[in-house]
Amino acid sequence: MSDTHITRPLFDQVMVPNYAPLEMIPVRGEGSRVWDQEDNEYIDLTGGIAVNALGHAHPELITALTEQAQKLWHVSNIYTNEPALRLAQKLVDNTFAEKVFFANSGAEANEAALKLARRVAFDKFGIQKTEIIAFYQGFHGRTFFTVTAGGQSTYSDGFGPKPADITHLEYNDLSELEKVISDKTCAVILEPLQGEGGVLPITPEFAQGVRALCDKHNALMIFDEVQTGMGRTGELFAYMGLNVTPDIVTSAKALGAGFPIAAMLTKTCFAEHLKVGTHGTTFGGNPLACAVAGKAFDLINTQEMMSGVKHKEQLIRQHLEAINDEFSVFKEIRGAGLLLGAVLNEQYKDQAKTFFLESAQQGLLILVAGANVLRFAPALNISDDLIEQAMLKLKQAVKNIVNKDT
What residues are designated binding site?
106-107, 139, 142, 224-227, 281-282
Given the residues 101, 139, 259, 330, the one annotated as active site = 139
Contact 143, 126 (CB under 8 A): no
Query: Residue 27: enclosing H or E segment and its boundaries?
Result: strand 26-30
Contact 85, 62 (CB under 8 A): no
Q: What residue type is 48 in one-letter code?
A: G
Active site residue 139: yes
Q: Would you give the end-to-end CA distance of the chain in angstroms?
A: 42
Distance CA 202, CA 207 (A): 7
Active site residue 184: no
Residues 6 or more apart whose Cβ sits within 8 Å of residue 184: 128, 129, 130, 131
Contact 250, 106 (CB under 8 A): yes
Q: What residue type is 285 in one-letter code?
A: G
Contact 374, 367 (CB under 8 A): yes
Distance CA 226, CA 110 (A): 9
3-state helix vs strand vs coil in the chain, percent to 5:
40, 20, 40
Given the residues 102, 145, 224, 330, the one annotated as active site = 224
Q: What residue type is 218 in one-letter code?
A: N
Active site residue 253: yes
Contact 42, 34 (CB under 8 A): yes
Given the residues 101, 102, 247, 253, the one annotated as active site = 253
Annotated binding site for N(2)-acetyl-L-ornithine: 142, 281
Q: How many CB atoms lie within 10 A of CB 371?
A: 12
Annotated binding site for pyridoxal 5'-phosphate: 106-107, 139, 224-227, 282
Query: Residue 185: enclosing H or E segment and its boundaries?
Result: strand 185-190
Distance CA 379, CA 381 (A): 5
Question: Active-site residues: which are they?
Answer: 139, 224, 253
